[in-house]
Structure 1
Amino acid sequence: MKIVLLVVGKTVESHFIQGIEEYSKRLAHYVPFEIAVIPELRNTKSLSTDQQKEREADFILKSFLPGDYIVLLDEHGKEFTSTQFATYLEKKMSNVAKRLIFVIGGPYGFSQRIYNAAQEKISLSKMTFSHQMIRLIFTEQLYRAMTILNNEPYHHE
């Protein structure tokens, strides 16, 4: 199984890029991991937020393959502790045959079509983070989960 983090738009802030690259490199020791980037929409000033979400949905849906298990990172999703997230991932790694895809939407969230395509929603916090920052937070939590599953000393209770 491969884990994919699907994001809308490139990560542009260098300190986030460095952190994401570091955790991605560490993750390679445990699981195939990839960050897939959907291009950010251009010329959106004349579009409503719903129109922007629908255009992003077109690109997001094209990224999915048959057999993918889709999890949205969404403020209304289920929350986990780091240990619970590790247990969740362990179950998914034994049940998902191909790709486990975690999706971070654009600045206005997801269209209903994306919610309909997803199997689950997870929230990383009740707080709101920038879409740039959440990439680093998620990648670190994924790495943390792998160290928990392997009884390594990174995580402390």
Structure 2
Amino acid sequence: MKIQFWSIGKTDESYVKEGVRDFTERISRYYPVSWRIIPPAKQTASTPEDAVKKTEGATILGLLTKDDYLVLLDERGKSPDSVEFSKFIAQRANESTRQLVFLIGGAFGVDEAVKQRAQYVWSLSKLVFPHQLVRLILAEQVYRACTIQRNEKYHHV
């Protein structure tokens, strides 16, 4: 199984770039992993939020293949603990998922069509974080899940 992290937005700020790189390298010991940064839709001050979401949504849906398992990050999603999340990833691997895609939406969220395409909606927290920090938290949580699967000492109960 391959893991892909997709994020709509600008490139990483220097204050989180190193952490994202570090955790991505760690994950690569368990699964092939990569990042895809999708540029946000061009907009003006008068562009409606729904139009931005539709444009970004069309881009996302165009990049996905029919076999991709899409996990959408959204504060209204399910909130498993670390062990449950580890089991979720293991289950995807056991079901021969070819590619597990984690999506961090744009500044206004994602279009309804993307929400409907997602097989799982995951909440890191009920709090809203800057996209840069979400990238770091996402990478760390996937790494933590990998270590839990192998019963390694990173995660403490």
Q: What TM-score, normalized to structure 2?
A: 0.95
Distance in 2 (CA, whole Å) between partners of 1:45 and 1:84 is 42
CA contact (8 A) 1:44 1:52 kept: no
Kindly tell me the number of residue pairs found equivalent between the two proteins: 157
In structure 2, the residue matched to 1:108 is 108
After superposition, residues 5-44 of structure 1 pair within 5 angstroms as 5-44=5-44
Distance 2:132 2:96 in 1: 27
Ranges in structure 1 where 5+ consecutive residues have no aligned partner: none
TM-score normalised by the chain length of structure 1: 0.95
Name the structure 2 match of 1:4.
4
Unmatched 5+ stretches in structure 2: none
1:47-66 residue pairs with structure 2 within 5 A?
47-66=47-66
Runs of 4+ in 1 over 6 A off after TM superposition: none
Pairwise CA RMSD? 1.1
Shift of 1:95: 1.2
Q: Is the 8 A contact 2:9 2:131 kept in 1?
A: no
Partner of 1:71: 71
User: In the TM superposition, what is the alpha-carbon distance from 1:41 to its structure 2 partner?
Assistant: 2.2
Identity %: 39
User: Aligned to 1:85, what secondary structure does the other structure show?
Assistant: helix
2:97 & 2:82 partners in 1: Cα distance?
Answer: 23
